[in-house]
A and B are shown apart, each in its own frame.
Chain A
Amino acid sequence: MKQTLIGLALCALLAWGVWRQPPATAPIVQHREIFALGTLVQLSFAQSVPPQLMPAVEQALSRFETRWSVHGDGDLARLNQLIEQQGSAELPQSLRPGFVIAQQACRNSGGLFDPGIGALVRLWGFDDEDHFRSAPPAASAIDGLLKARGSLCTLELGPRITPPTPSTQFDFGASAKGRAVDEIVALLRARGVHDAIVNAGGDLKVIGSRPDRPWRIGIRHPRPDAGQEIIASLEVHDGEAVFSSGDYERFFIHENRRYHHILDPRTGLPTDLSQSATVLHRSAELADAAATALFVAGPDDAAQTMQDLGISHYLLIDAQGRQLISPAMAQRIETSE
């Protein structure tokens, strides 16, 4: 009798499970997407989207892109042209705050992050889709630019800037996206947004939280085809940014060797110490620059470089796929292995 009752109870539970359907619920998060900054910018809202917000975001991103692009006739492109032609140029007020923060990061990283490598980035063809190469440039060309370039670390940021050589070109590809994300987050807050994520091609900053839990972010494996898509996850709180740099997006293979877009300012070559670097910080701009510096530093110099930059939360995957996780980051993340 007892067995029959247990069997009947399990059958009833089974039938209930089959017929029961989860209640249909509206999505908690709405997404909007914009192509900007050379990537797909996704905005996720855990609230209603204020009217006229998206056009304002698009305009802000467009203005930012024009200002900081090395191509076209924006402020940075003109600055580079003037330096090339005249050896010096007035530093526009629109660029000054970005130059100041980047210079601090350049100095604190010992030059591992240095926007003064613009001519090298152009030589390698990583500045623009149309310049993409299938083979590395000649070693003599790299050496020539290395000797001729100036560093942002040592530049005097007066009303005019005069790099040591006119062949110095500035490229803020390793920090401008962070600055843009900070600016868009500020714009969203000013327009009443209190729960959202600004995600610019895998580099993101959050506002508030979801109604049911904090925002949860996955960190993608640098070699996802290895059978593991996510290497770690963490909950991210209001005002925090998570930025990653890696060798897996912009690269080409030549004679069985991978040449990626993150150049070591000391050698002019893609660094071969790391696969990916992830940094968590409240400033997206600093997180962006620090992720590049961490990637270039590699495992041996990671801790010192991050300490000098004031970064306590970081995760580095080295060239062999080994994880180096800072103690503070270890308290925040769940690893998938």
Chain B
Amino acid sequence: MTRADWLLLCGLAYAVGWLFHSLWLPQSEATQATISGPHQTHTIRLDEDREIEMMGPLGASTITIHAGAARFTRSPCRHQVCVRSGWHRRGGAVAACVPNRISLSLLGANPEFDGLSY
């Protein structure tokens, strides 16, 4: 075999491995997020960067979607527990601004974890 044959074989083997990982293995990363408030619920894809404002009894909470992850970036509550919980990217992850009654739940086809302890 020539060097070009070996390169082609290695490339194809890599492509098959990549396909196996990305298409066939269970994906623990979330693909969607559900944002729920007292008046409405949105389910959005995580592959488009955006900011969403959701109104609660204290005012507007802002959820940011970036690079397949989601987080509370602003919220009118005093403890800021939701903002401090940081970025979430795994299916099954949950964050909430309890005083403002806004929740963020990440959905995945096959989440690695059924719940998180924290």
Q: Which A positions have Cβ atoms within 8 angstroms of B? A: 3, 6-7, 10-11, 13-14, 17-18, 20-22, 29, 31, 33, 35, 38-40, 42, 44, 129-130, 132, 197, 199, 201-204, 210, 215-220, 222, 224-225, 229-230, 233, 242-244, 246, 248-250, 276, 278
Distance between Cα atoms of A247 and B18 in the complex (Å)? 40
Q: Is the CB of A129 within 8 A of B117?
A: no
6 contacts between A and B (CB under 8 A): A10-B16, A29-B114, A229-B87, A229-B89, A248-B118, A249-B81
Q: Is the CB of A216 within 8 A of B113?
A: yes
Q: Is the CB of A218 within 8 A of B90?
A: yes
B59 proximal to A (CB < 8 A): no
With A40-B103, A44-B115, A217-B113 in contact, do A20 and B23 touch (Cβ < 8 Å)?
Answer: yes
For A249, the chain B residues whose CB sits under 8 A away are: 79, 81, 84-85, 118
Number of contact residues on B: which range applies?
Answer: 35 or more
**Nearest CB on A from B67, distance (A):** 14
Q: Is the CB of B90 within 8 A of A229?
A: yes
Chain B residue with Cβ nearest A246: B118
Distance between Cα atoms of A13 and B23 in the complex (Å)? 13
Q: Is the CB of B96 within 8 A of A248?
A: no
Distance between Cα atoms of A39 and B79 in the complex (Å)? 12
Chain B residue with Cβ nearest A31: B105
For B20, the chain A residues whose CB sits under 8 A away are: 17
Q: Which B positions have Cβ atoms within 8 angstroms of A? A: 1, 5, 8-9, 12-13, 15-16, 19-20, 23-24, 36, 77-79, 81, 84-90, 92, 94, 96, 98-99, 101, 103, 105, 112-118
Q: Is the CB of B101 within 8 A of A10?
A: no
The 8 Å CB contact of A129, one of B19, B78, B105, B114, is: B78
Q: Is the CB of B9 within 8 A of A6?
A: yes
Q: Is the CB of A129 within 8 A of B113?
A: no
For A230, the chain B residues whose CB sits under 8 A away are: 90, 113, 116
With A20-B23, A244-B118 in contact, do A10 and B79 touch (Cβ < 8 Å)?
Answer: no
For A276, the chain B residues whose CB sits under 8 A away are: 118
For A233, the chain B residues whose CB sits under 8 A away are: 112-113
Chain A residue with Cβ nearest B11: A10
Q: Is the CB of B24 within 8 A of A22?
A: yes
Q: Is the CB of A243 within 8 A of B117?
A: yes
The 8 Å CB contact of B16, one of A14, A129, A197, is: A14
Chain B residue with Cβ nearest A250: B79
For B98, the chain A residues whose CB sits under 8 A away are: 35, 38-40
**Nearest CB on A from B95, distance (A):** 8
With A18-B19, A199-B115, A217-B114 in contact, do A39 and B13 touch (Cβ < 8 Å)?
Answer: no
For B77, the chain A residues whose CB sits under 8 A away are: 129
Q: Is the CB of B15 within 8 A of A14?
A: yes
Distance between Cα atoms of A142 and B9 in the complex (Å)? 72
Q: Is the CB of B103 within 8 A of A202?
A: no
Instruction: Give me the 5 closest cross-chain CB pairs, A-B, nearest first.
Output: A17-B19, A40-B96, A202-B118, A220-B118, A218-B113
Q: Is the CB of B23 within 8 A of A17?
A: yes
